[in-house]
Structures are given as C-alpha cells and as structure tokens.
Chain A
C-alpha cells in the first residue's frame, strides 16, 4: 500500500541551483497535484494534472515546472532556486474531484534554499 511516494524527504539547495522533486502514485489516479505549505499556513496549489500529457497552473506556479508523461509520475522542477521557495512540498493524487473523491497526500518534502 505505497499510495503517493515523493522524494527526497529533505533537501538543502543553494540559491540558483535547480532540482526535481519526484512523485509517483500506484492508485491509478488521473488527477495529481503539487502543493506547497509555508510554516503555519495552509496549502497553495502550484500545478495540477488531470491526466497524462495534461498539466495546468495553480495559484503559485512561478519558478516551477511540471511534466506528466505517465499516469503514475508527476515530477516538480525548480529552476534557479530562490529563498522564497523554502517550504514543504506535498504531492497528491485523486480520482476526479468533482465527485468529492479523497485527495491522497504524500509525506512531504522539506526544501530549504540558502
């Protein structure tokens, strides 16, 4: 019962470096999401995908890129990391949300940009 798996768990980046947060789910969900959560705050949607080959921007997409080549994988790319991207990142997946389906979250990736 792996569910949503994201790696790495922790990462420290220097300003200007790039990295990719990996996310994979084994529930055959069409919908996948990337959220960020700043300390003491709720979740902000970065990007989402309703199926392989389809991605769309959320509330805070600047500084990030995504791709969805398969149903299972939804990596998040950070280009030219900035201190403002220090946050906890959550990948999630679900069946179509218009039917009130549960969103399943990964355990989070803690990213610090110094």
Chain B
C-alpha cells in the first residue's frame, strides 16, 4: 500500500491551460516536499512546506499544505512545455528520519 497517493497519474494538457495535481495520505507529515523529474535525470526539489495551511508560490506554481498536514496540492497557471515532467511529492513522518515518495504525476504540456 502507498503511504502517499498522487492524482492524476497522467495529465496531458495544452499550453496555456491551468492544472492542479494532488498528493494525499491518511498519515500526518511533519513536512512535505515537491520535486520535478525530467526524463533521464534525478528529481530536483521545487518546494518544502512545513506548516498546516501553508501556501508557497514559485512563479506560476502554487503549493499548498493541507491544514491537517495530510495532503498537498500543486497548481500550475498557464502551463508551458517546459513544465513537462514527473511531479513527485515526498513526505517526512515525525516518527521516521527518512523521506517517502509518492508514485508521481506525469505531466505533458503540448505546444
């Protein structure tokens, strides 16, 4: 069973559209991170959220951590082809000292 679930699994949209991807769990996390991975490369950190209800913005990307610290969302405004990649959420549980990754959302932005 997955500790972290992500939806949708795959998403294909036209350039300029908006989208939201979700990361959900039944567990509480002390912090949650979002990474983007391009083909043939390792994941690269986009953001870390640590406070329930926290919202962080990174240019056209908006990240939110749920109030109960069990879920998170990533919203992209006016998607561009350069946003194409695998988006992974990763959570740290307070009782562990390691990070667990979700299965990822594969995003394709068509010009």
Contacts and interface: CB of A to CB of B under 8 A. Distances in A.
Contacts, number: 64
B88 A42 contact: yes
B55 interface: no
A108 B30 CA distance: 28
A42 B97 contact: no
A105 B103 contact: no
Contacts of A81: none
Q: What bracket does the count of chain A residues touching chain B fall in? A: 20 to 34
A97 B43 contact: no
Could you say which of B43, B44, B50, B99 has the most chain A C-beta atoms within 10 Å of its C-beta? B99
Interface of B: 6, 30-31, 33, 35, 40-45, 48, 50, 86, 88, 90, 92, 94, 97-104, 106
